[in-house]
Amino acid sequence: MFWNRAMETIRGDELADLQIKRLKWSLHQAGKTGLYQRRMKEAGVSPDDIKTLEDVERLPFTTKKDLQAGYPFGLFAVPLKEVVRIHTTSGTTGKPTVVGYTRQDLENWSELIARNMTMIGLGEDDIFQNAVNYGLFTGGLGFHYGAEKIGMTVIPSATGNTRRQIEMIEDFGVTAIHCTPSYALHLAEVAESMGKSLDTLKTGIFGAEPWSESMRGELERRLGLKAYDSYGLSEMYGPGVAFECPERDGLHIWHDSYLVEVIDPATGERLDPGERGELVITPLVKEAMPLIRYRTGDITRLMDEDGCACGRGQKIERITGRCDDMLVIRGINVFPSQIEHVLRSLPEVGDQFMVYIDRVKHLDEMTIEIEMSKVSFSGELQDLARIQKKISTELQNTLGLRTAVRLVEPASLPRFEGKARRVIDRRGNA
């Protein structure tokens, strides 16, 4: 099903023409800010030099640091009186990143969310529980207005009070839920402990943090729904940048609104289609805060141009990590998503884990605290030693790194209502 068939299926020359037209408009809009006046001058390029999509490579990059330097409103391209909403997201250090929206931006954003929801078969017959933070986090209001736009019955449940959330799902007959994958797992645990099977739930929309295919399998089994990956970032409005269709093999980017490239994060060179690297996005319709070649820090690759059975255009692969959360441990690069993938494939492992990195006598040590699953937790020392060895071996095989594994009782590690913080790096800069 399509919300906006013309825009969702636009391809080839027609798409390129639209993108270049919108890109020129965005460059003009960005040129209203001091940052881009300086940057374009330094790069020796003016909006008029950009005639084809290949010319985009001549444009300067924008990073999170630039947004922080402009804190709070330095990157706004419209007078503050035209900004009708502000969201923020965490910065790399100190102050948060501020994002502004005009009325048209809010309209564009809910259109994109409406496309996502319609694409996976949701509509006015659905009852939608939006179990994410409704404050400055873009997941709350972003999905709320998109869901209302297509006529769903929206329950703005926000986060917290998990037992009440479960009662609402049951009492209101909720058919679709949106939350972080970590919170979905927690909901599943609590529902099981309450003896609730949540039969009305059919669709789960999960995003805002990396999650693996094994996590998808687990959520689908325990919550009895079909789980879809949703990608976005506050700098690009929020959720709604890319989303899985029913094929669930990669996420469709809304190419009429976002121009995407994949670059080598070390050199900034553009990579060939299919190569994995950092996703760089130039929004094409943002009014209040236009950005040029924004470096997302997210690692993905562009998938085959054609070939999705749903009829929409090019997709990106699910985000496999960030170029800046990559851990270098004893010279070996480790992505937290790799650890998660290994752990979730082992039946002995329960729902939560925590990774600690320390420097002991100048050597990096990684310790993983792992909650055991209820079924495998017998408390017998012999069993524990066997399971510990099995997990260490699996981790070593995948990561190429020896890790200390500490097993803990089921349900004893902290739960996260929002984004999980599972990696604690205690090495400092020493």
Contact footprint for ligand DLL (CB under 6 A): 89, 138-139, 207-210, 229-234, 238-239, 296, 298, 319, 322
Q: Which residues contact 356 (CB under 8 A, 6 or more apart)?
A: 366, 367, 368, 369, 424, 426
Our CB check for ligand DLL shows the closer of 92 and 378 to be 92
Q: Closest CB to ligand DLL among 304 and 324?
A: 324
**Cβ of residue 230: shortest distance to ligand DLL, in angstroms?**
5
C-beta of 40 vs 300, nearer to ligand DLL: 300
Nearer to ligand DLL, 242 or 368 (CB): 242
Nearer to ligand DLL, 99 or 349 (CB): 99
Cβ 77 to ligand DLL, closest distance in Å?
20
Min dist CB 250 to ligand DLL, Å, is 12
- Rounded least distance, CB 79 to ligand DLL, Å: 25
> Residue 101: in which H helix or E strand, if any?
strand 97-101
Q: Are 61 and 295 in contact (CB under 8 A)?
A: yes
CB 111 within 8 A of CB 256: no
Cβ nearer to ligand DLL, comparing 139 with 350: 139
Q: Tell me whether residue 180 or residue 403 sits nearer to ligand DLL (CB atom).
A: 180
Using CA atoms, how far apart are residues 178 and 416, in angstroms rounded to an integer?
15
Does a cis peptide bond (omega within 30 degrees of 0) precede residue 79?
Answer: no
Cβ distance 285 to 258 under 8 Å? no
CB of 243 to ligand DLL, least distance (A): 9
Instruction: List Cβ neighbours of 270 (8 Å cut-off, separation of 6 or more).
Output: 57, 261, 262, 263
CB of 355 to ligand DLL, least distance (A): 17
Q: What are the helix (H) ranges across 195-348? A: 213-223, 336-344
Do residues 277 and 263 make contact, with C-beta atoms less than 8 angstroms apart? yes
**For ligand DLL, the closer CB: 112 or 368:** 112
Which pair of tokens denotes residue 223?
């919550």
Minimum Å gap between C-beta 134 and ligand DLL is: 12
Dist CA 47 CA 24 (whole Å): 6
Task: List residues bridging with 407 in a β-sheet.
Answer: 370
Phi, psi of 34 (to 5 degrees): -60, -40
Please report how many Cα atoms fall inside a 13 Å half-sphere around the Cα of residue 95, on the Cβ side: 13
For residues 340-377, one letter each, b for 16 or more C-beta atoms within 10 angstroms of the residue's C-beta and e for the rest, the string is bbbbbebebbbbbbbbbbeeeeeebbbebbbbbeeebb
Secondary structure of residue 35 in the 3-state scheme: helix
- Of 232 and 250, nearer to ligand DLL (C-beta) is 232
Residue 210 or 250: which CB sits closer to ligand DLL? 210
Token pair belonging to 357 = 């990195």
Q: How far is the CB of 179 from ligand DLL (least distance, A)?
A: 9
Rounded to a whole number of angstroms, the minimum distance from the CB of residue 208 to ligand DLL is: 4
Smallest distance from ligand DLL to CB 115, Å: 14
Taking the least distance from each CB to ligand DLL, the nearer of 294 and 377 is 294
Whole-Å CA distances, 257 to 23, 247, 301: 10, 22, 19
Smallest distance from ligand DLL to CB 232, Å: 4
321-322 sheet: strands from edge to edge:
258-263, 277-283, 294-300, 321-322
- Are 307 and 372 contacting, i.e. CB atoms less than 8 angstroms apart? no
